[in-house]
Amino acid sequence: MHQAIVLGTGSGRCGTLSLARLLSRQPGVVVSHEEPPLLPWRPQSPREAIGERFARWRRLRQGRIVGDVASFYLPYVEEAIALEPAIRIVCLKRPREEVVESFCRWLDRVQPLPTNHWAEEPAAGWYHDPLWTRIFPQYPTQDRREGIGRYWDEYYGRAEELSRRYPEHLRVFDTDKALNTEAGLRELLSFVGIPAEEQVLAAGLRGWSIRGWPVSRSIFPTPRKASQRGSLRAGAANCYSTALRQRPAEGPSQLLPEDTSTARPWNWPDSAAFSSTSSWSSTLGIRYFPYNRPYRWGKLLYTHGHFCRKWSGHTARAHYERIGQCCIVGHVHRADSFFNSHRDDTFGAWENPCLCRLDVEYVFSPDWQQGWSVVTYSGEFFHVEQVVVINGQYVWRGQLRGFPRPAHGRVVAADLRIEHLAALNAVRRPP
């Protein structure tokens, strides 16, 4: 049986999740919402990316119509039509000001930091998101509302043009009419290819609760299917090697800030080598990337991270489930890895140890590890090796290196403990 393909799209905050739920209620239809990996606004290999996705759906989904709904499909429409002449693409359109207002409220609710996806350079105190920003265009403005408005104008300008060029394949629907009236529902479902006698009408579906948290956490499910996300295959003995379907042509992406001469993490060692990022580059060969500007090399995403779990390895898993691809994160200052295997592939996520001091004043005997990760790329593979420094020494390729020094838990932390106890006694002492 040849499975038909359906795509849903729209600017975002326009009913895409409701559309996915509506389509999934139809008999013989299997449609997801924002299936990872997220596709960038500026595609590098659009035909390959969309073609692999179509093939994966047909291989792993049971249904006469399969597809996905997400805002990031618009730049891939022409390639999708060329690959699938019978494809149907539904584009939802919500009024401009409603979309702007909804995006602002949504981002303020769910993002841990002030986020502006649409600014080429966010203003001070504002940030990009390592995953979601790449699915939007950026503009030379730091005003978030203006950026969203310009995005809406560009998005629906392109969508209307495509609908005129490919009227049998793509149609723009008013969100309120298409999802909240019987006539609109029937028009939409008939366009997709659902016979009138089989249509399941469900007007007024809401994708998100009023309180602002998802009714369904389906945006980032634990990846359960093989995909282009970067898979692990057998490498050298006792090693994990991560397969890449494309080798990076230019190394790490060029996301360096214009001026990093004065930036310096506050808790790095007090030495001349760490006095500024300029000295890092000249003395240690370290390239500085700001917190909000992670980069991707091949299929491995490098980012600081923002989840924290109690045990080593659990944080890596949390980021893998959130990101949906192989990644390496810091944030918790611990070393470990997480792997998840399916029928065809294995995925990995790594927690990176830290280079900062372990005698910080705000925590007693922290459960941190000093060290670093070494990532080696070779052809279509990369390999992650973690080096953990214990009391000043570490083993690298069979050789003991470094120099011994007391463990922070024996000397420095003991002194800190005395200070903590003294402070507690001073608080408890009656006036």
Asked if the structure places residue 277 within a domain, the reply is no
Asked if the structure places residue 182 within a domain, the reply is yes
More confident residue, 210 or 64: 64
Residues 244 and 146 grouped into a single domain: no
Asked if the structure places residue 328 within a domain, the reply is yes
Residues 193 and 340 grouped into a single domain: no
Q: Which residues contact 65 (CB under 8 A, 6 or more apart)?
A: 3, 4, 5, 6, 23, 26, 28, 29, 30, 31, 192, 193, 194
Residues 236 and 139 grouped into a single domain: no
305 has a pLDDT exceeding 80: yes
pLDDT digits over 141-150, tens only?
999 999 999 9
What is the reported pTM?
Answer: 0.55
Residues 169 and 238 grouped into a single domain: no
Instruction: Give the C-alpha distances (Å, rounded to integers) separating 122 from 114, 273, 429.
Output: 10, 30, 49
- Domain holding 125: CATH number? 3.40.50.300
Residues 186 and 245 grouped into a single domain: no
pLDDT digits over 15-39, tens only?
999 999 999 999 999 999 999 889 9
**43-45-50-53 Cα dihedral, nearest 10 degrees:** -110
Name the pairing type of β-strands 346-351 and 327-329.
parallel
pLDDT digits over 215-269, tens only?
333 322 333 333 333 333 322 222 222 222 222 333 333 333 333 334 444 444 4
Asked if the structure places residue 424 within a domain, the reply is no
Report the 3 state secondary structure along 255-292: CCCCCCCCCCCCCCCCCHHHCCHHHHHHHHCCCCCCCC
Asked if the structure places residue 267 within a domain, the reply is no
Asked if the structure places residue 148 within a domain, the reply is yes
Residues 62 and 182 grouped into a single domain: yes
pLDDT digits over 331-364, tens only?
888 899 999 887 677 889 999 998 787 777 677 7
Asked if the structure places residue 107 within a domain, the reply is yes
Residues 130 and 244 grouped into a single domain: no
Phi-psi region of 4 (alpha: psi -120 to 50; beta: other; left: phi over 0): beta
* Domain count across the chain: 2
Asked if the structure places residue 25 within a domain, the reply is yes
CB 45 within 8 A of CB 75: no
**Domain of 398, in residue numbers:** 231-255+294-416
CB 86 within 8 A of CB 280: no
**66-68-69-72 Cα dihedral, nearest 10 degrees:** -140
